Amino acid sequence: MGQNITEKIIGSHLLSGEMTSGKEISIRIDQTLTQDATGTMAYLQFEAMGVPRVKTRLSVSYVDHNTLQTGFENADDHLFLQTIAAKYGIYFSKPGNGICHQVHLERFGIPGMTLLGSDSHTPTAGGLGMLAIGAGGLDVAVAMGGGPFYLNMPKVTNVKLTGKLNPWVSAKDVILELLRIMSVKGGVGRIIEYSGEGVKTLSVPERATITNMGAELGATTSIFPSDEITLGFMKAQKREKDWVELCADPDAVYNEVIEINLSDLEPMAAQPHSPDNVAKIREIGPLPVQQVVIGSCTNSSYTDLMRVAGILKGKKIHPSVSLSIAPGSRQVFEMLARNGALADIISAGARILETACGPCIGMGQSPSSGAVTVRTFNRNFEGRSGTADAKVYLASPEAAAATALKGVLTDPRELGEFIEIKTPDEFLIDDSMILPPAEDPSTIEVLRGPNIKPLPVNKKLPETLKGKALLKVGDNITTDHIMPAGAKILPLRSNIPAISQYVFSGIDASFADRAKEAGGGFIIGGHNYGQGSSREHAALAPMYLGIKAVLAKSFARIHRANLVNFGILPLTFVDERDYDSIAAEDVLEINTADLGQESGLTVKNIAKGTEFKVRHDLTPRQVEIIKAGGLLNYTKQATGD
């Protein structure tokens, strides 16, 4: 029987288990990436493992999230990251060099290889035919130390693309259409594999926009074939020696197939406050817009910004709109500057930001109260922009630029003649802001400013967990709800005692104090609890506050793995009606002696005098991790340290 691309790559990297969907497997990781907001923890964890040098083929540490330096904290973190990278054999991409996923696509991604990144949009490299997965920092640290990456073998969903995008319809519209079809939960436990005639019509950056936002489907990753188009892109990056061809066998089988005819698509937008709340722009109706932001790892490639420049050329933005643009990488930025496109953008009235995540993670450019903001990003969760009542719409760069000119949400087809932009035959290559590791590690002193606090340690799992249901939340709670980001909180990513004060602060500002006072307790969640980012702080900080278990209807993959890594039990209701029976403040008791049994656990609701069953679906290995109080304790136990 023929194989699909997923099976080919997993098969050639398989270390344990069988490729049967739902079963635990482990794979060898060729490359890792980290970004600064998750990286400091990942490297502290790597350091704690005592491995002298990374064992991957390539590991890169990027600084792109916390680049707004309003105090010493972020700059301290940058220095720590630079020195620890030099010491342990890791390449260091300096702040200003670009967003991790864009730079990795340009300079490092290799078809057929595996990449594990401490950022949920790591699947961007799937646009090159790489199996690229987002994970918590601790999983990435283990991979850097040469350890396997464990996951449940996903189902493979084949998205068959036919036809060709019409003028002014964009790669963003392809993934918005898929989000409309599948929803933010639809990709959970799945890898989305693209095939069909339509693939040939999409450039690598377009494919990367699509695989990037596969994260919003909840998918493990998304992947395109590696073909002539991939070769062309890699040639233009002077990396053709790394190219290999990779496609599914003609008789490959998939768990499910979805067909999208590219010719049928129209410009769309995701409306507040979820990436799957998708509608056609022409049907959303006249919507005055106060802000437009173009950038992020989803849509800030050279071709994206050249088209934006072409739309803006010789025109001025609408007087009531503020337009900000952040190029995805220094390569893109410098090319725009040299060919004059940047001048067209500036002349139209855009505010130019540094090449970084910036507004996407609430680092500046928060909109005004109640504003409508149209962004080319991948997430529009409530409050993520830094303005609690802002309304964020996600759309293509073409739609964003048209909107900036008109002052109302605009279908780019209204712009008239299409602006054709080709992928260049040669990109401008200058890797001088990517520092190679030191040849002699003993010469490097790791610099730790006062913002870098030691890792908190967890205790072994007690036999009885007793505490209050500290908070009850609904479906689709994001990691932005659990552990908010933004300019004020992000600088505390290396300081768990300080950042834990903000856990759930947008939902219930008293949460952290109540949790501390009660000596910990439980969180009650709905479906898809923990969707969104890979930030392990959404597990680590609750752990620090004494949270012992989360009882939810279902979990998002990365967050569930992070909970396990930090010794917090992820439990699901056997009967979802039991969710309704719990009230906030109820005292619950769970006996964990049966953790190893298939039968699940019993939860006593002391307040109500009732009891109900929950499942944990942990593998035997995960049971041991939870019992030890998390993966670090477990690894130390296993190695006898």
Q: Which residues are known catalytic residues?
A: 64-65, 119, 379, 533, 535
**Minimum distance from CB of 529 to ligand MIC (Å)?**
16
Is residue 299 a contact point for ligand MIC (CB under 6 A)?
Answer: no
Binding to ligand SF4 in span 356-415, by CB under 6 A: 357, 360-361, 377-378
Residue 192, strand partner residues: 157, 222
Number of residues written out for the chain: 641
Assigned token pair, 59: 């590991």
Closer to ligand SF4 at the Cβ: 361 or 590?
361
Closer to ligand MIC at the Cβ: 291 or 378?
378
Is residue 493 a contact point for ligand SF4 (CB under 6 A)?
Answer: no
Contacts of 147 (CB under 8 A, 6+ apart): none
Residue whose C-alpha is closest to residue 423's, from 589, 584, 230: 230
Residue 304, strand partner residues: none
**Minimum distance from CB of 282 to ligand MIC (Å)?**
29
**Minimum distance from CB of 105 to ligand SF4 (Å)?**
12
**Minimum distance from CB of 627 to ligand MIC (Å)?**
28
With CB under 5 to 8 Å by kind, the binding choice for 296 among ligand SF4, ligand MIC, none is ligand SF4
Closer to ligand MIC at the Cβ: 120 or 365?
120
Is residue 361 a contact point for ligand MIC (CB under 6 A)?
Answer: yes
CB 228 within 8 A of CB 193: no
With CB under 5 to 8 Å by kind, the binding choice for 473 among ligand SF4, ligand MIC, none is none
**Minimum distance from CB of 541 to ligand MIC (Å)?**
12
Assigned token pair, 484: 């908010």
**Minimum distance from CB of 361 to ligand SF4 (Å)?**
4
Closer to ligand SF4 at the Cβ: 192 or 588?
192
Assigned token pair, 625: 């991790």
Q: How far is CA 39 from CA 59, 432, 494, 566, 582, in A?
A: 12, 21, 9, 16, 37
With CB under 5 to 8 Å by kind, the binding choice for 534 among ligand MIC, ligand SF4, none is ligand MIC
Closer to ligand MIC at the Cβ: 293 or 415?
293
Distance (Å, whole) CA 357 – CA 55:
29
What is the β-pairing status of strands 521-524 and 547-552? parallel
Residue whose C-alpha is closest to residue 626's, from 571, 555, 574, 575: 571
For ligand MIC (CB under 6 A), the number of binding residues is 13
Binding to ligand MIC in span 45-84, by CB under 6 A: 65
Binding to ligand MIC in span 133-192, by CB under 6 A: 134
Three-state DSSP class for residue 519: coil
CB 177 within 8 A of CB 280: no
For ligand SF4 (CB under 6 A), the number of binding residues is 11
Give the torsion sign (CA, 353, 359, 362, 364).
Answer: positive
Binding to ligand SF4 in span 53-82, by CB under 6 A: 65
Is residue 119 a contact point for ligand SF4 (CB under 6 A)?
Answer: yes
CB 213 within 8 A of CB 179: yes
Residue type, 207: R
> Exposed/middle/buried for 502, CB within 10 Å: 0-12, 13-18, 19+?
buried
Closer to ligand MIC at the Cβ: 535 or 616?
535
Three-state DSSP class for residue 261: strand
With CB under 5 to 8 Å by kind, the binding choice for 99 among ligand SF4, ligand MIC, none is ligand SF4
Residue whose C-alpha is closest to residue 604's, from 563, 525, 551: 551
Q: Please, what is the Cα angle at 373 between 372 and 378, to 5 degrees?
A: 130
Binding to ligand MIC in span 106-135, by CB under 6 A: 119-121, 134
What is the β-pairing status of strands 391-394 and 155-162? unpaired
Instruction: Dump strand ranges (E) for 289-428.
Output: 291-294, 322-325, 351-352, 372-375, 391-394
Is residue 38 a contact point for ligand MIC (CB under 6 A)?
Answer: yes
Residue 419, strand partner residues: none
Closer to ligand SF4 at the Cβ: 199 or 305?
305
CB atoms within 10 A of CB 474: 12
**Minimum distance from CB of 537 to ligand MIC (Å)?**
7
Closer to ligand MIC at the Cβ: 114 or 592?
114
Is residue 533 a contact point for ligand MIC (CB under 6 A)?
Answer: yes
**Minimum distance from CB of 212 to ligand SF4 (Å)?**
7
Binding to ligand SF4 in span 274-313, by CB under 6 A: 296-297
Q: Which of 32, 476, 534, 592 binds ligand MIC (CB under 6 A)?
A: 534
Is residue 560 a contact point for ligand SF4 (CB under 6 A)?
Answer: no
Q: Please, what is the Cα angle at 12 between 8 and 13, to 5 degrees?
A: 120
The residues of the shown chain that bind ligand MIC, judged by CB under 6 A, are 37-38, 65, 119-121, 134, 361, 485, 532-535
The residues of the shown chain that bind ligand SF4, judged by CB under 6 A, are 65, 99, 119, 121, 296-297, 357, 360-361, 377-378
